[in-house]
Amino acid sequence: MATGTQELQTILAPRDIKIDGKRPWDIQIHDKRNFVTALSRGTLGLGESYIQGIWDCQKLDKLTYLFLKDRINNQIKNIHIALYMLWGRLWNYQSSKRAFQVGQLHYDLGNDLFENMLDKRMIYSCAYWKDARTLEKAQEAKLELICRKLKLQPGMKVLDIGCGWGGLAKYMAENYNVNVVGITISKEQAQLARENCNGLPVEIKLQDYRKLEGQFDAIVSVGMFEHVGYKNYSTYMKIVRRLLKDDGLFLLHTIGGNDSKTRGEPWLEKYIFRNGMLPSIQWIAKASEKVLVMEDWQNFGAYYDQTLMAWDKNFEKNWPKLKEHYSDTFYRMWRYYLLTCAGAFRARNIHLWQIVFSKQGYKGVYHYA
């Protein structure tokens, strides 16, 4: 066994992971020389070498869970990662000039991909599985939870920052008789969202959040804050305050990390979510301090594990229909994304937070039951 793989096995052994073992979560290396070279580039190299077929694992989700649950990933660091994080401190990777890049790279891949992976409403965020047994019911429960937390009433004007394919906007308009303005940085999302919300009091705009104007009774942002970046968190919160009416509520639904980092995970940022990074509790608290009042903070990140596994099941089932438009390399990349993220949520390495803010403090005790 090459020296590099011996060192890795030393790290993995206490976590019950073997190289070339026979269990579903063990790593099978097909090209040891290139695998060792890939490891010198940290998690970026590990992900790229998987896409290239240099190694395999039957249960990537469990491998990731075992790898992260005791935070042993901190043992695998190198100069590439240090420089990567340094650039995050020096440059604003989520500036307005770069705002549409993630839309072009990820969300504009093709609506057929997401139609065959997500639920019927195409909700691309963590579902709420508390009393649900299917993806459809779990996503509907999440939409209802958001509406109850925002205390929507007929006639309200609601802003949806990062509206996706319009699933939440449509649900709010149909079930709560509110008027919705939704924004997205994806052309494909905007087009389909307009079709999905046709005939409803919903306006879909293709624009960056920094261009928003108006006044709203309630504001919601689901799965978008991960693209804002720590250099822009304060600006984002101040924009929300400016747009929100004095007695309004703002719900922030975002993936969050345990550590306050200045860049996203290298492989995910390069291949999946360009310029993305996860906020920490500290980043959110610092940005909202003296700007908004935090009324409620809920963590149901464990449900993202279930959600991602459901998406992977749909992706696998519908791959025969998708492979005419997507390559085998894309197949490996996409499953690596879904399954490693599922394992990370399972390990509580990352979380899903729903945070409710008011502008001046909610009158009385805030509750949404």
Q: Please give the Cα distance from 295 to 30 (Å, whole number).
A: 52
Task: Please state, in angstroms and as integers, the Cα–Cα distance from residue 315 to each residue in 4, 172, 273, 283, following that order.
Answer: 34, 28, 18, 34
For the annotated catalytic residues, the residue numbers are 341
Whether 69 contacts 61, CB under 8 Å: no
In three-state secondary structure terms, 207 is coil
Place of tokens 């990352």: 350
Q: Residue 92 carries which DSSP code? A: -
Place of tokens 């010198």: 40
Direct distance between the N- and C-terminal alpha carbons of the chain, in angstroms, rounded to an integer? 58
Per-position DSSP letters for 274-310, written without gaps between them: TT----BHHHHHHHHTTT-EEEEEEE-THHHHHHHHH
Torsion over CA: 137, 143, 145, 148 (sign): negative
- Going by C-alpha positions, the residue among 41, 141, 99, 144 that lies closest to residue 235 is 99
In three-state secondary structure terms, 364 is coil
Strands 157-161 and 55-56: unpaired
Strands 216-222 and 157-161: parallel
Q: Please give the Cα distance from 109 to 283 (Å, whole number).
A: 30
Burial class for 92, CB neighbours closer than 10 Å (0-12, 13-18, 19+): middle
State the CB neighbour count (10 A cutoff) for residue 144: 14
Strands 350-358 and 293-299: antiparallel
Q: Please give the Cα distance from 78 to 34 (Å, whole number).
A: 17
**Residue 178: strand pairing partners:** none
Give phi and psi for 246, each to the nearest 5.
-55, -35
